[in-house]
Amino acid sequence: MPEEIISEQFRRFFLSYSKSIKVQESRTGSLFEKNFKRKRVDSENYFSYVINYIHQNPVKHRICKNYQTYLYSSYSKVITVEDKLLKGAEVLRWFGNKEQFVKFHEANPLDNNIEHLEIED
């Protein structure tokens, strides 16, 4: 199954990364607090909210003040459709068009009632 292949690739990546950091920093023990988790996206509505959550999450955690200008967000790349790897045009089509994509994000700010989006326990 594709999700098993992807999961295995992430496992290998994180294992390799943690080993190199441990050697570099002369550390022992676990580098990460817990394993990464995944959650099934089981509806079109949920998928739209997950995209919104990913973009607005840095604001929620006070990493930045504005998700629209956050350097490490895909939000600006989606609305400019400049990144072929990202397939921003497909994301915009998912929401209808650029204006609908922007409106969806503006109309759905993250609040404290986001448990249905979060994976953390």
- For residue 94, being part of any structural domain is answered with yes
Distance CA 48, CA 42 (A): 11
Q: Which domain holds residue 49?
A: 43-107
- For residue 18, being part of any structural domain is answered with no
- For residue 33, being part of any structural domain is answered with no
- For residue 38, being part of any structural domain is answered with no
- For residue 7, being part of any structural domain is answered with no
In sequence order, what DSSP letters do the residues of 36-100 get, joined into one string?
-------SHHHHHHHHHHHHHHHHHTTS-S-TTT-TT-SHHHHHHT--TTTTHHHHHHHHSSHHH
> In the chain, how many domains are there?
1
- For residue 1, being part of any structural domain is answered with no
Q: Are 115 and 106 in contact (CB under 8 A)?
A: no
- For residue 91, being part of any structural domain is answered with yes
Full pLDDT tens readout for the chain, 121 residues: 777 888 888 889 888 888 888 888 888 777 766 656 677 888 898 899 889 999 998 998 899 999 999 998 989 889 887 666 778 888 999 999 999 999 999 998 876 555 555 555 4
